[in-house]
Every structure is written in structure tokens, then in C-alpha cells.
Amino acid sequence: MSHSLAELEARIGYTFREQALLQRAMMHTSYANEQMGGRDGSNERLEFLGDSVLSLVVCKYLYHTYPDLPEGRLTVLRKNVVCQRALAEYATAIDLGSHLLLGRGEEKDGRTKPKILEDAFEALLGAMYLDAGDIDRISRFVVPFVKAELAKMQAELTPFEDYKTLLQQQVQQMPGEELRYELIGEEGPDNAKIFTVRVLINSNEFGRGVGSSKKEAEQNAAKEAFERYLPR
């Protein structure tokens, strides 16, 4: 075992019984292609497994931590704490990039690329699960990252006046999700109208807002939606 991997084990608080699993988790496809003539030795299969392990750990944590939240809001929270940005930050926190085996084409900036770091973090989880055979052991490693990410999201709630921007930033981290505002009510004379707007993510309503202008109503709807993302 290299000194580099021993450092990584110390950082994650876990010593592998089967060192080959950790070595494979650090092997990017670019390295496997150059050194082994194909992708078979890369971390792709471990990444596939780690993605499911991560999802189970996070879903279990959210399910038990927020017993009153409906499925839709739990899904939003899960997507935020396992998005590419978040996983890349988790990987950076343990300096995972410095331990990667990369091909020549990726050596320049591959150790800081979010996609490579995301994949390597998931591969590491897959390797840990195979080696430990215990999902609770993976939870002890992952949950502190999840708690910190949720706390950071909570901290962004206040003070913050432009909730439309903040909500948009959150939704942008979830590929395939569509955010839109819909005018559902308009009352009063022309010089004193009151507007009611709802905000939807895909087809699900996440908040409503009322205001003396459409812009104010949208801002209030976004505030309610964003606060409902995160349970207090």
C-alpha cells in the first residue's frame, strides 16, 4: 500500500482489509485506458455501486430525521445533498483529488474537476461498502457531510431578500427540474390590485405568495417555497 492511500485511510477513519478495492476506487478511466488498455480496471463499477449506497444512506437519514416531511420535500432535500457540487465538496474536504490515478490528459486539472471528484467519492463509498459489508459503517462516514450541507442551506435562509434567485440556484443544482411561477388570482381595482402567485417545481406546488404586484407576489411565493425546502 502506498503512503498516499494510508493518508487517505487516516483521513476517512477507515482501514481497508482489501487494499485493492481502495486502489480501484482511485483509478479514473483515463488512467485505466492508458495503463491497462481499457476501462475494466477503472472505478466505474464501484461508482455505480456507491451511488446506490449513498442514496440509501441519505434517504434513511432524512426519513428518520424529518418524520413529518412528505415525500416530495424529502426528495428535494436528497437531491440537494447528493448533487454534483455537494459531492465534489465532500471529496475536496478529504483531499480525495490528490489520491486519484489519472491519465496524462487529466493530470492538468482533473484533480479539481467536480465530475471526477463526484465519481471518485461515490466509488470510495462503493469500495468501503464491499470491504466493510456494513451500511451503518458507511452512514457514520457520510452523515456528517449531509448534516453540514443541510446546515449550510439553512444558514442561507437569513438574511436574504431575493428569494427568487436563491430558489433558482437551488433548483439549478438538480438537472431536469423545472421552476416556474403561475398567476392564480387577481383582485381589486386597477389602482390597488392584489395578485396571488404559486411557484411550481415540475408539476408540484411548493409555495404561494400574495403581493401588490406580480413581482412581489412571486418573491413571497419563492420565500415560502425555499423555506419549505428546509425543515426548521
The H or E element containing residue 194 is strand 194-201
Using 50, 70 and 90 to split pLDDT, how confident is the model at 46? very high
Q: What is the Cα–Cα distance from 6 to 16, expressed in whole angstroms?
A: 10
Q: What range defines the domain where residue 215 resides? A: 163-229
Tell whether 142 and 179 lie within a shared domain. no
CATH code assigned at 105:
1.10.1520.10
- Cross-strand pairs, 198: 182, 208
**Residues in CB range of 5: below 8 A, 6 or more apart:** 19, 22, 23, 26, 99
Tell whether 71 and 173 lie within a shared domain. no
Does residue 134 have an active-site annotation?
A: no
Q: Which of 47, 51, 118, 131 is catalytic?
A: 51
Residue 1 pLDDT: 38
What percentage of residues in the chain have a pLDDT greater than 70?
A: 93
Q: Which of 47, 89, 106, 122 is catalytic?
A: 122
Q: In what order do the strands lie in the sheet with 194-201?
A: 179-187, 194-201, 204-211
Q: Which of 123, 154, 185 is the last residue of a domain?
A: 154
Q: What is the pLDDT of residues 180-189, one digit of tens each?
A: 999 999 998 8
How many structural domains comprise the chain?
Answer: 2
In this predicted structure, the answer to whether residue 31 has a pLDDT above a threshold of 70 is: yes
Residue 28: name the closest of 14, 11, 47, 10 by CA.
47
End-to-end, the C-alpha distance of the chain in Å comes to: 45
The C-alpha cell of 184 is what?
Answer: 392564480
The C-alpha cell of 222 is what?
Answer: 419563492
Does residue 40 have an active-site annotation?
A: no
Residue with cell 477503472: 42
The C-alpha cell of 142 is what?
Answer: 457520510
Q: What is the Cα–Cα distance from 104 to 129, expressed in whole angstroms?
A: 30
Q: What is the pLDDT of residues 213-231, one digit of tens each?
A: 898 899 999 988 887 765 5
CATH code assigned at 171:
3.30.160.20
Q: Which of 121, 154, 187 is the last residue of a domain?
A: 154
